[in-house]
A = this chain, B = another copy of it.
Amino acid sequence: MLVVMQSHAAQSQIDKVVQVIEGQGLTPHVMPGATRTAIGITGNTGAVDKSLFEVLPGVEEAIRVTKPYKLASREMKRDDTTIQLAQDTIGPKNFTIIAGPCSVESEVMTVKTAEHLVSRGVKFLRAGAFKPRSSPYSFQGLGLEGLRILEKARAETGIGIVTELMDTENASAVEESADIIQIGTRNMQNFSLLKRVGKCRKPVLLKRGMSATLEEWLMAAEYIMAGGNYQVILCERGVRTFSDHSRNTLDLSVIPPAKALCHLPIFVDPSHGTGKRAYVPAMSLASLAAGADGLLIEVHPEPDRAMSDGAQSLDFAALDALLTRLKALAPAFGRTV
């Protein structure tokens, strides 16, 4: 159920609606919009009586939401969600670049990468301290030491930190260090982890599962939002199909329906999507054209020496060339890089 307030509704009227919802043993989610406030209701197992709310002062209407996801749906919140961070705002007016190496390999390479990014106007650094690897014998990341290095890179350059959380054990540590918490593709339906980051105060970048439908992906976002954390960024990174010309099949066609059904920002990871650095620039430009709000790109000072994912990482020169093209193209889509 969604209670839509009149555009002139007073705060006291909003508070009253919240009070009535709670009085029914349900959970209110106040979502202020550009012109009016909407209040989502979750926690009901059966139908909720609309008339209960429609008689309250300041209420315009109460709407039954028919999608299995509620808080993530456009029905619940018509306006695009923007996410305000210290470094920049993520949302429909910007095209935000998050770049960096697959994993934090050392302080030197991490700070060097952060410095290069900042010099080119990139506001966010991605790098994994905890790495999900398909082999137990592969490098698993520097762990807490990696988080320290990321904090140092931010302290020295001001760059925002995006890093993956793999389990609830390290949730507090990652929440402390990161500006944006990444949930990886293999954990998109790790519901215990989703519930945990629903309690975090930092935005969450939620990668699409390798074979997740759009609805399952939005339901994963719903898990996080149902916990009270409404700052969720979707990130398409390629799905698994029969197709073998690329590491995964980057599904840019999910962007228009995701935008139609859901108000959250959506990013694209063309590095994992293609698996080959030569194809990253074209798919980055196509992501912008398809309506994405930003990119998550793998960049490494020396891709051929990377401890992981070197084949899909751009070097600094290739990143610079791509940024030049994106900056030139973005205004045609009403955005700024």
Contacts and interface: CB of A to CB of B under 8 A. Distances in A.
Interface stretch (A29-37, A101-109, A173-181, A253-261): A253-261
A249 interface: yes
A66 interface: no
A158 interface: no
A243 B208 CA distance: 12
A291 B30 CA distance: 44
Interface in A155-202: 166-169, 186-187, 189-195
A84 interface: no
Contact of A289 (B211, B250, B288): B288
Contacts of A278: 256, 260
Contact of A282 (B226, B256, B328): B256
Contacts of A245: 213-215, 253-254, 257-258
Contacts of A273: 253
Interface in A285-322: 285-291
A253 B240 contact: no
A242 to B, nearest CB: 5
A332 B289 CA distance: 12
Given A168-B167, A222-B135, A289-B289, A243 B252 contact: no
A34 B238 CA distance: 37
Contact of A186 (B189, B276, B288): B189
A43 interface: yes
A68 interface: yes
B244 A241 contact: no
Contact of A246 (B194, B246, B253): B253
A73 to B, nearest CB: 13
A150 to B, nearest CB: 20
Interface of A: 42-45, 68, 132-137, 166-169, 186-187, 189-195, 210-211, 213-216, 219, 222-223, 226-227, 238-246, 249-258, 260, 273-274, 276, 278-279, 282-283, 285-291, 328-329, 332
29 contacts: A45-B137, A133-B191, A136-B222, A136-B227, A166-B191, A167-B168, A167-B193, A186-B191, A190-B190, A210-B210, A213-B245, A239-B243, A239-B249, A241-B241, A245-B254, A249-B251, A250-B253, A252-B283, A253-B273, A253-B274, A253-B279, A256-B274, A256-B279, A256-B283, A282-B290, A286-B287, A286-B289, A328-B332, A329-B332
Closest 5 CB pairs of A and B: A167-B192, A211-B211, A186-B189, A286-B290, A289-B289
Given A135-B219, A136-B219, 10 more contacts: A134-B216, A136-B195, A167-B168, A167-B190, A187-B190, A211-B240, A243-B251, A245-B254, A252-B283, A282-B289
